[in-house]
Chain A
Amino acid sequence: MMEGLDDGPDFLSEEDRGLKAINVDLQSDAALQVDISDALSERDKVKFTVHTKSSLPNFKQNEFSVVRQHEEFIWLHDSFVENEDYAGYIIPPAPPRPDFDASREKLQKLGEGEGSMTKEEFTKMKQELEAEYLAIFKKTVAMHEVFLCRVAAHPILRRDLNFHVFLEYNQDLSVRGKNKKEKLEDFFKNMVKSADGVIVSGVKDVDDFFEHERTFLLEYHNRVKDASAKSDRMTRSHKSAADDYNRIGSSLYALGTQDSTDICKFFLKVSELFDKTRKIEARVSADEDLKLSDLLKYYLRESQAAKDLLYRRSRSLVDYENANKALDKARAKNKDVLQAETSQQLCCQKFEKISESAKQELIDFKTRRVAAFRKNLVELAELELKHAKVEYVSRARWLTPVIPALWEAKAGRSRGQEIETILATTGNLQLLQNCLAVLNGDT
């Protein structure tokens, strides 16, 4: 079953790309436009086709594509992080590793349990899982794309040589993933860094702006983390509730086909309704996931990157102060003064450079964040509304022929009228007319 999904053809059709969750505000201009035009999912890796359109002189052609894998993205990101020159910029966070394990497991379990379900149930579940797989796939493509776009939009980073190589070099970059030794080194580096971070953060900053930003970012980061986790849980429960509708629908269908009285038609219709409901609820949860959870997750990573920037700045501040102290000491001892002076100069320059760009970066970060939240929240609200209305109309449409007949007998036409008015206000005249026709004809 996995074979069908592996080596799949183009997963991204034109419309799909339009709907991709680009949840950051990307100021792309004509000089350099990057996107992921295609993606292929193989057994344990995903191959992205990175497509570039550029009028910059550095590139040989104006438009070209290369195939890249996730490790190459990580390599690019790490090269930015390690580059001292970029210490003063918020490095766009690396896209998370494509994780299809959970989805694969589920598909496998489905395959094993094939014998115990009815044919319809099996096809339904299979479709569902395939849709899930597709959704995860689309998401990971989107996140890689966002990373590239952010780099392309950044006035300094876009000129990076590694970036150009990444975009243009149409053979394998032979970037190997870090081996065990390197991973261990990384681990220690991180530990040292976080310990250092604690020390460094104890130093009060002279500049109010940065002090404020630091406290803000710290708190914000934690809260975003919390909100992101909770939002995840919420979308997951939403999804399980939607799945339940699926099962209820198939049970009702089974009841309908087996029952002997004419309630069976009723059951079949209800089962259809539940099916439709499930599809809508699944979409609701997927959209929530996209607009809310992904947004929060992205800003979790971005705020971490911003924190990293602040850390680097603080570190350079500490270095600067240390260099000052060393200079004073050297002057006092009158020994190695020149050396101390040059190192102090260097530190001073570095610090000022970082501070300047950091200020701009942080302001940009805020603008981007506000814009992204706005965009996503508006889209979230619109989508929720759309789905709620669709679901409402479909249910009301189902219920209307049934309800007036029942309620008429009980309480006069009032209830039937109510439904009719509601339908009328949602502007569905045709539906209304159908209902009236039904009422006047037979049920």
Chain B
Amino acid sequence: MAAEREPPPLGDGKPTDFEDLEDGEDLFTSTVSTLESSPSSPEPASLPAEDISANSNGPKPTEVVLDDDREDLFAEATEEVSLDSPEREPILSSEPSPAVTPVTPTTLIAPRIESKSMSAPVIFDRSREEVQENIEEEANGDIFDIEIGVSDPEKVGDGMNAYMAYRVTTKTSLSMFSKSEFSVKRRFSDFLGLHSKLASKYLHVGYIVPPAPEKSIVGMTKVKVGKEDSSSTEFVEKRRAALERYLQRTVKHPTLLQDPDLRQFLESSELPRAVNTQALSGAGILRMVNKAADAVNKMTIKMNESDAWFEEKQQQFENLDQQLRKLHVSVEALVCHRKELSANTAAFAKSAAMLGNSEDHTALSRALSQLAEVEEKIDQLHQEQAFADFYMFSELLSDYIRLIAAVKGVFDHRMKCWQKWEDAQITLLKKREAEAKMMVANKPDKIQQAKNEIREWEAKVQQGERDFEQISKTIRKEVGRFEKERVKDFKTVIIKYLESLVQTQQQLIKYWEAFLPEAKAIA
């Protein structure tokens, strides 16, 4: 559902929403979302219109009358709310179709559409979105309609106890929030606290929790000490952007969005300080020990992978990780060289200006000064470009490298879950053997105890199996969603980046065009 608010990815945005709700907890929601999310499929006929048509006699004739050029679209709309925009390119695959088996919901939807179609929308997108919004709000506000901004970094306090406070602004129309627009002040450790709470709740059941930005002792110390130079402002800006991206990613996750801790983070003006995020606290050390233990465990667990999908995915993620790291290194090199280029261009500009000064031929002198000016402007351009390189491209890559680490973590949790299940099975076996022995030895009270234990462990085995199934299913879903998000993210960012390159070129053209007549004027 994110797709409605953002430029739709060329290909794969829609099925996401659909997959999210596949586990059928809310059949109604799922149908609704599928229905409204399949709008741009070019062959609406592929959707099982037949099922629904029976129920939607009412709205149908009305719609057909209304908008002649949208006739075909609305005809389908009643069946499946496929509001196809004539301008919209057939971007999406018809993947959603198979799961659409709605029967009842249509009656609920139909009146909605009816009321909306009466308004004869001019801008098609908006109308579609309105319809959608209503449907979705009806369906438990599962829509992604929330905008988060992190801004105004402010230094609070002094000396080594100082910290930067950021303003977190939320704009939303979701019903679960008390207001539609609000902002709070948060500090970095608050973000870390949020992440650790979410991680402890969701990671082990297989949800990919976006990782928080990293701590940086060096950077922070500089800020605390109060050095007002460009590197500390850069650091603060980098951190602010990272925090913003982190929050945006977190709220995009439909399950995490529902979490009360997240809501509290966004809404409440006072937040208990997350003390155990400090690196050197007791909790911090415990975390490090756990990490080490985990690493050892990972090496010893040998899992019988029954599902080839998981193996394949793990391999894929490994490859992706490697590739991204390599790319990241190259992009960082580019940023570095670009900064160097900018510095060198500035130096050259000064030098050319001096040369122009010492030149005694007036026209040439003027031309050289002009050259110096052009080069200075170009230097500015290069600097801006370097920032763009960095903030768009490089940070995206490092974010994804960390995200993939989170994904790998989730796979590891699945392994642990499997291990638990295995252990339970083994213990059950042992208990059964023990019981058999008791039977032979004929000790009635011990037999009873053994039977109890067996029942207990049988339950545990069942639970373990259920957990394992659950986590596997969740992971599949999550990985699917992750892939869609990744595709979307990469495309948008790369395109934005290329746009910035295009703009730089435009400027360059302007500058050189201005210089050319000056050069020609040298007599």
Number of interface residues of B (CB under 8 A): 70
- Answer whether residue A334 sits at the interface, using C-beta atoms and an 8 A cutoff: no
User: Which residues of A are found within 8 Å of B337, using beta-carbon distances?
Assistant: 237, 240-241, 244
- Decide: A406 near B358, CB < 8 A? Known: A248-B327, A373-B522, A392-B509: no
- Decide: A237 near B341, CB < 8 A? Known: A385-B509, A395-B502: yes
User: Which residues of B are found within 8 Å of A227, using beta-carbon distances?
Assistant: 348, 351-352, 354-355
Question: B516 touches which one: A270, A385, A442 (CB < 8 A)?
Answer: A385
The answer to whether B90 touches A442, judged by C-beta atoms less than 8 angstroms apart, is yes
Closest to A284 in B: B508
User: Which residues of A are found within 8 Å of B12, using beta-carbon distances?
Assistant: 261-262
Number of interface residues of A (CB under 8 A): 68
Question: Once the chains are docked, how many angstroms separate the CA of A230 from the CA of B87?
Answer: 53
Question: B330 touches which one: A248, A384, A422 (CB < 8 A)?
Answer: A248
Closest to A256 in B: B323
The answer to whether A244 touches B327, judged by C-beta atoms less than 8 angstroms apart, is no
The answer to whether A381 touches B10, judged by C-beta atoms less than 8 angstroms apart, is no
User: Which residues of B are found within 8 Å of A408, using beta-carbon distances?
Assistant: 87-88
- Answer whether residue B430 sits at the interface, using C-beta atoms and an 8 A cutoff: no
- Decide: A238 near B341, CB < 8 A? Known: A373-B367, A391-B505: yes
Question: A396 touches which one: B324, B326, B502, B508 (CB < 8 A)?
Answer: B502
- Decide: A370 near B361, CB < 8 A? Known: A258-B319, A405-B91: yes
User: Which residues of B are found within 8 Å of A377, using beta-carbon distances?
Assistant: 367, 371, 519, 522
User: Which residues of A are found within 8 Å of B363, using beta-carbon distances?
Assistant: 370
Closest to B385 in A: A241
User: Which residues of B are found within 8 Å of A237, using beta-carbon distances?
Assistant: 337, 340-341, 344
The answer to whether B327 touches A223, judged by C-beta atoms less than 8 angstroms apart, is no
- Decide: A399 near B499, CB < 8 A? Known: A259-B320, A405-B91: yes
- Decide: A254 near B323, CB < 8 A? Known: A396-B502, A403-B499: yes
Question: Once the chains are docked, how many angstroms separate the CA of A373 from the CA of B363?
Answer: 11
- Answer whether residue A266 sits at the interface, using C-beta atoms and an 8 A cutoff: yes
The answer to whether A219 touches B358, judged by C-beta atoms less than 8 angstroms apart, is yes
Name the interface residues of A65-82: CB closer than 8 Å to any CB of B: none
B339 CB to closest chain A CB (Å) equals: 9
The answer to whether A374 touches B509, judged by C-beta atoms less than 8 angstroms apart, is no
User: Which residues of A are found within 8 Å of B492, using beta-carbon distances?
Assistant: 406
Question: B498 touches which one: A259, A395, A405 (CB < 8 A)?
Answer: A395
The answer to whether A251 touches B10, judged by C-beta atoms less than 8 angstroms apart, is no
The answer to whether A255 touches B10, judged by C-beta atoms less than 8 angstroms apart, is no
User: Which residues of A are found within 8 Å of B360, using beta-carbon distances?
Assistant: 216
- Answer whether residue B125 sits at the interface, using C-beta atoms and an 8 A cutoff: yes
- Answer whether residue B6 sits at the interface, using C-beta atoms and an 8 A cutoff: yes
Name the interface residues of B360-404: CB closer than 8 Å to any CB of A: 360-361, 363-364, 367-368, 371
Name the interface residues of B475-520: CB closer than 8 Å to any CB of A: 483, 486-487, 490-492, 494-495, 498-499, 501-502, 505-506, 508-509, 512-513, 515-516, 519-520
Question: Once the chains are docked, how many angstroms separate the CA of A408 from the CA of B87?
Answer: 9
- Answer whether residue A199 sits at the interface, using C-beta atoms and an 8 A cutoff: no
**27 A/B residue pairs, CB under 8 Å, sorted by A:** A223-B355, A223-B358, A227-B348, A230-B351, A233-B344, A233-B348, A237-B341, A244-B334, A251-B323, A251-B330, A254-B326, A261-B483, A263-B11, A270-B498, A277-B501, A373-B368, A374-B519, A377-B367, A377-B371, A381-B512, A392-B505, A399-B495, A405-B89, A405-B91, A409-B8, A442-B90, A443-B89
| Given A230-B347, A273-B498, A378-B519, 4 new contacts (CB under 8 A) | A216-B358, A231-B351, A240-B337, A377-B367
